[in-house]
Amino acid sequence: MGLRLVEKGNHSKRMVVFVAIFLITTLFILYNSNSVNESYEAFKVIGYNSATKNTDLKKWAGKDGYVPVFGNKSLTLHYKQCALVTSSSHVLGTGAGAEIDRAECVIRMNDAPTSGFEADVGNKTSLRVVAHSSVIRLVRKPQEFLNCTDCPSIIFWGPPTKIGRDANGALYRLIHRVAATYTNLSTFIVTPGKMHKFDTLFQRETGRDRQKSQSWLSTGWFTMVIAIEICDKIKVYGMVPPSYCGRHPQPKRMPYHYYKPRGPDECVTYLQNERGRRGNHHRFITEKQVFARWAKLYNISFVYPTW
């Protein structure tokens, strides 16, 4: 009798373990089959991709939103054809450098370098759009970004509390020191009014309030809008489509920046930011969904990858 009870108890335990393993395996399979393919649509579910109203960016544009750090220069750039070079690792191995340098205008972002990468990203820079968080990295490499004879224009963007004329903080003073030291550069700052317009544009194009949705606009957002303002035709190098990180099987690991091979993975960065709820995050995938719509309106094409 005692032996039967022991055997029955052991059988029950084995059944419990078997059921637990079965449930865990099932959940794992469901998670991998759904989350990988659908994770990039996280913000579609809550309405991020439902624009309230399309904006005519050619009418929305206004060069008055960019004020010179010194003097009375105005941003009156206009180009028929522009190359917008991202900092993505997808540009590596493309051999697109010569093609990029042939563009009438070459636009780069933040501290993405050309030295050592000329074969793939070119050497020419006509305009560089720089976030407040990247100013110090530019200053640390003056030979790469600041000390030049054929210098580009630089547009600095950031919260008015950090780079605005009324801020007079350390970052504001650093930008002024750069402009005063490297006089060959044409340096501009996005005005508070224009910064507000960028926020409003995000809300109109996505249906979501940037601040309430805990979003930070990326440098890519500012750069794309500025490119549309000044260029008739735009060719973007290295930007992946909105659905790229949701593919199955998942794309191979790619460093987020081509000049930081040991940096974070591109898709991990995109997905963590897109799904983040605590603290502010860049909504990279949401922005790319907007760029895909703009491409049809403003003569924008994407290469490496092509989409």
In degrees rounded to 5, what are phi and psi of residue 250? -60, 150
Written as six digits, the tokens of 169 are: 């903080």
pLDDT confidence bin for 18, thresholds 50/70/90:
very low
pLDDT, mean over the chain: 84
Contact 101, 124 (CB under 8 A): yes
Lowest-pLDDT range of 141-145, 148-152, 241-245: 148-152
pLDDT at residue 2 is higher than 50: no
pLDDT confidence bin for 52, thresholds 50/70/90:
low
pLDDT at residue 145 is higher than 90: yes
pLDDT recorded at residue 60:
79
* Most confident of the ranges 29-33, 108-112, 196-200: 108-112
* Pairing verdict, β 215-216 and 186-190: unpaired
Q: Is residue 190 helix, strand or coil?
A: strand
Distance CA 305, CA 282 (A): 22
CB atoms within 10 A of CB 130: 24
pLDDT recorded at residue 12:
53
pLDDT tens column, 60-89: 766 678 999 987 777 778 999 999 999 999
pLDDT tens column, 120-137: 999 999 999 999 999 999
Q: What is the pTM of this model?
A: 0.82
Distance CA 275, CA 42 (A): 7
Written as six digits, the tokens of 120 are: 């793939």
Helix axes 266-275, 284-297, angle to 10 degrees: 100
Average pLDDT over residues 255-259: 98
Beta bridge partners of 153: 127, 186
pLDDT tens column, 212-225: 888 899 999 999 99
* Element at 282 (helix H, strand E): strand 281-282
Distance CA 254, CA 245 (A): 11
CA gyration radius, the chain? 24
- Nearest alpha-carbon partner for 267 in 28, 3, 37: 37
Distance CA 258, CA 252 (A): 15
pLDDT confidence bin for 13, thresholds 50/70/90:
low
* Element at 139 (helix H, strand E): helix 135-139
pLDDT recorded at residue 63:
60
